[in-house]
Chains A and B, each alone.
Chain A
Amino acid sequence: MTVGIVSYGAYIPRYRIKIEDIARVWGDDADILKAGLMVNEKSVPDVDEDAATIAVEAARSAVSRSNLDAQRIGAVYTGSESHPYAVKPTSTIVAEAVGATPVMTAADFEFACKAGTAAIQTCMGMVSSGMIDLGLAIGADVAQGAPGDALEYTAAAGGAAYVIGNKESELAAIIEDTYSFTTDTPDFWRREGMPYPEHGGRFTGEPGYFKHVIGASEGLMSKLDTKPEDYDYAVFHQPNGKFPSRAASMLGFSKEQIKPGLVVTRLGNTYSGSCMMGIAATLDQAEPGDRIFATAFGSGAGGDSFSITVTDKIEEIRNNTTTVEELLADPIYADYAMYAKHKGKIRIA
């Protein structure tokens, strides 16, 4: 059965902080960091934005892009590492705010940075089985990184939402297949009640990111008997610019193939939104018939790969709402003090 993307939407807060401003506070060398991370600035949420508000904005953008009847949505799943409540779903807030309630199911997903793509896979299964008509899968985060930690240079805010369906005439892109590669790998975690995640430093690279991204990507290409040359574009999870660039080169994808989706240099790492934002940025530019290869990574650890073919429908829906490029344009720059205020690092009472 054909399954794919009926619509998609993204949201990025308007504030940014430059690497220089963070480096100044901790006495680090901004040029070395920028070259090493391939990140120049990252998004910062407003004082009244959290993963739920970002998820709602991305979901509303997805619903309005294809002007669909939200009552057709039978499942809402939101993936995040920063759900505002420990107990009480973000997904019910989203469902109410897009007008999908009450005849639907909902749950919140957590799998570090790939909870959103796990939600896409769940929706793919549910629309394929006929359990639901349309599924809404979201990845959204106000990413956490401890002050002074390496993560603080990249932990950003943003999200992307995908409406998954199975009626071929409605699909803006067909998801030909998906493949996951998962092991129990403690490369990054956050314990209950703790404000910031911990990570295994360099251990997050080879046994975490690369093993699972390469494992999932090679697995999917082998299953479909495709090669990097068969794809016009590729997107890999973007904790920084270096990791996806290296993963692409290890797999045989070119710099040109990953260029449209590599938004991390101007956005930072939006955790659950990261790979999904890259796919959205690529869909914003792709032509009918183009093929997109995408692999998300979540610490803990796993990789989810997708093989996507864009249809004629993309041209009908693409310009109905804000593109990722438009969301990245015209930022307001915050200094470290403003960033600390926005992130709630300054305690008032």
Chain B
Amino acid sequence: MIIMSVPRFWRQQVARYNLVGTHCKKCGEYFYPPRDMCPDCRREGEIEDFKFKGTGEIVTYTVIHTAAEGFEGQTPYVLGIIKLDEGPQLTTQIIGIADEMEIGMKVKPVFRKLGEDGESGMIYYGTKFVPA
């Protein structure tokens, strides 16, 4: 079971489905997850929505053998940090065979089930990554 309220997931849904983050037009920085305010430009910043291409590379990864509740059925699986081509880094599941993963490997996004709230609750969908 994933402890996440339905409204909380729904608010982040478009960001999770379509990798929509933000971009500061003033300094050029990209943010994912989206930020409403540029931490450098502060009030001078000009934030706009930005849809990331989704391609990037593996910065680092680990193989999960002892999973958190709700993910027991998926072990072993790979959890990693991806650096998107535009700059932001995010923690995500990387689909594929653990032995074939490498730091620096190019990845692309896929649409997958992130989890579900038991058998009767909501199913959470979003983006994971696969070797490109």
Contacts and interface: CB of A to CB of B under 8 A. Distances in A.
Asked if A pairs with B, the answer is yes
Interface of A: 46-50, 52-53, 56-57, 60, 84-85, 93, 96-97, 99, 332, 341, 344, 346, 348-349
B72 A96 contact: no
B123 to A, nearest CB: 6
A85 B18 contact: no
B63 interface: no
Given A84-B123, A85-B123, A332-B97, A49 B113 contact: yes
Nearest to A97: B17
A52 B97 contact: no
29 contacts: A46-B95, A47-B73, A47-B74, A48-B74, A48-B93, A48-B95, A48-B112, A48-B113, A48-B114, A49-B112, A50-B123, A52-B113, A52-B123, A52-B125, A53-B111, A53-B112, A53-B113, A53-B125, A57-B110, A84-B123, A93-B125, A96-B14, A96-B17, A97-B18, A99-B18, A332-B97, A341-B73, A344-B73, A346-B73
A28 to B, nearest CB: 27
A97 B111 CA distance: 8
Interface residues of B, number: 18
Nearest to A60: B111
B113 A56 contact: no
Contact of A348 (B14, B72, B97): B72
Given A48-B112, A97-B18, A344-B73, 10 more contacts: A46-B112, A49-B112, A53-B110, A57-B111, A60-B111, A85-B123, A96-B14, A96-B17, A332-B97, A341-B73
A47 B77 CA distance: 10
B118 to A, nearest CB: 9
B128 interface: yes
Interface string B106-118: 0000111110000
Interface in B82-102: 93, 95, 97
